[in-house]
Structure formats: structure tokens, C-alpha cells
């Protein structure tokens, strides 16, 4: 009986390296080029797939971009290049809500599946949330008769628009 156990143990020991070869670890990573984006900006995310530490080329990867309400804003299937990487660009639409976004990626090779996530924020273009718009409209006619000009029988009007952005004060060094 003891001999049967030893034989079984020996056979299992021999099989272990072969079964481990078929189950090499699969991994996927995803990262963005920045952590904060304004509306209308382009998010660049990079996916990298590896198996047993080596890049896995020409492998399909599913991705999703979800907002803070868990609504899918973009999704699709991409394929890694010769280096096991893929870089995707997605424009944050002006109709996207401000807040947190998550990029989900998933890869399946054989019976193995790996997934990863990364997050970023959409923020207002100006942190203070204040945009002041000044419009100056000065009629040349109010400066006096000597400066009045006529253009095709109409009084010329000078108009200038200034966009002033108020940001967070900074301490001078």
C-alpha cells in the first residue's frame, strides 16, 4: 500500500511541471497619461498584456469606459501589437458629466482571464469654477463730434470682448 502511494506521488511530481506550463500566469495592466482631464480633451490609455512575464502579441482585449453613474461611455475590442501593448485615444465629450471615470480592460487566453482598471477625473477647465466675461461696447459717437466716423451711412461701433479666467491664487516665492 505504501508502495502505491509512493508511485502515485512520483507520477504526480512528474506531471506537475507539464501542467504548470499550460497555466502560465496571464496579466494585464492599463494606465492613462494623466489623472485629470477637461471636457473635450483626449484621454490616452495604454494596455499591456503579458504571459509568464513576456509580452503577448496580437491578443484581443476588451475595454470599457464608465462614468461615475456606471454608464458605459465607450467600449470596444482592441488587439495588442508586437510588443504586447495597445494605446487608445478617447475624446471626453462636452456632454460627459464631470466626475470620476474608470477604464476596465479584460483579456482571455485559453482558460485564463485577467482584468485591470484605472481611474481618472474630469474637472472643470478652471478649478475656481469661475469664468468672467467682460464685454466692452464703446460707441465712437460718444467721444465727441470730432471723432465721429461714418461708414456707409452708419455710425462705426468699437466692440471688444475679453475672457478673463480667475484661478486659485498662488504664493510667490
At 130, list the grid cell.
Answer: 469661475
Predicted pLDDT of residue 23: 57
Please tell me the predicted confidence (pLDDT) of residue 135: 38
How many whole angstroms separate alpha carbon 143 and alpha carbon 160? 16
Query: 3-state DSSP: the chain helix, strand, coil percent, rounded to 5?
Result: 15, 50, 35
Q: Within 13 Å of residue 71, how many CA atoms lie on the same side as its CB? A: 5
Confirm if 26 and 107 have CB atoms less than 8 A apart.
Answer: yes
Specify whether 154 is located in the same domain as 118.
Answer: no
Q: What is the C-alpha separation between 155 and 22, in angstroms, rounded?
A: 85
The CATH number that applies at residue 112 is 2.60.40.1930
Instruction: Tell me: do 69 and 115 sit in the same domain.
Output: yes
Residue 164 CA, distance from chain mean position: 29
This prediction has a pTM of 0.61
Q: How far apart are CA 139 and CA 125, in angstroms?
A: 34
Give yes or no: residues 98 and 159 share one domain: no
Same domain flag for 85 and 143? no
Q: Is residue 7 part of a domain?
A: no
> In tens digits, what is the pLDDT along the chain, a chain of 173 residues?
555 555 544 545 544 444 444 557 999 999 999 999 999 999 999 999 999 999 999 999 999 999 999 999 999 999 999 999 999 999 998 889 999 999 999 999 999 999 999 999 998 875 444 444 433 333 434 444 444 444 545 554 444 444 445 555 555 55
Q: Which pLDDT score, from 0 to 100, does residue 124 have? A: 82
Residues 54 and 86 in one domain: yes
Q: Are residues 109 and 28 in the same domain?
A: yes
Long-range contacts of 69-72 (CB under 8 A, 24+ apart): 69/97
CB atoms within 10 A of CB 173: 3
Amino acid at each position: 500500500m505504501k508502495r502505491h502511494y509512493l508511485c502515485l506521488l512520483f507520477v504526480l511530481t512528474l506531471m506537475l511541471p507539464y501542467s504548470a506550463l499550460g497555466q502560465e500566469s496571464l496579466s494585464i495592466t492599463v494606465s492613462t497619461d494623466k489623472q485629470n482631464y477637461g471636457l473635450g480633451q483626449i484621454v490616452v490609455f495604454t494596455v499591456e498584456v503579458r504571459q509568464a512575464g513576456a509580452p503577448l502579441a496580437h491578443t484581443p482585449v476588451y475595454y470599457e469606459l464608465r462614468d461615475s453613474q456606471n454608464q458605459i461611455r465607450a467600449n470596444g475590442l482592441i488587439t495588442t501589437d508586437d510588443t504586447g501593448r495597445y494605446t487608445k485615444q478617447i475624446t471626453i465629450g462636452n456632454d460627459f458629466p464631470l466626475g470620476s471615470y474608470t477604464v476596465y480592460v479584460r483579456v482571455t487566453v485559453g482558460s485564463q482571464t485577467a482584468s485591470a482598471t484605472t481611474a481618472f477625473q474630469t474637472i472643470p477647465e478652471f478649478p475656481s469654477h469661475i469664468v468672467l466675461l467682460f464685454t466692452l461696447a464703446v460707441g465712437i459717437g460718444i467721444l465727441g463730434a470730432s471723432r465721429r466716423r461714418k461708414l456707409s451711412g452708419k455710425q462705426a461701433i468699437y466692440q471688444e470682448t475679453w475672457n478673463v479666467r480667475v484661478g486659485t491664487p498662488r504664493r510667490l516665492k
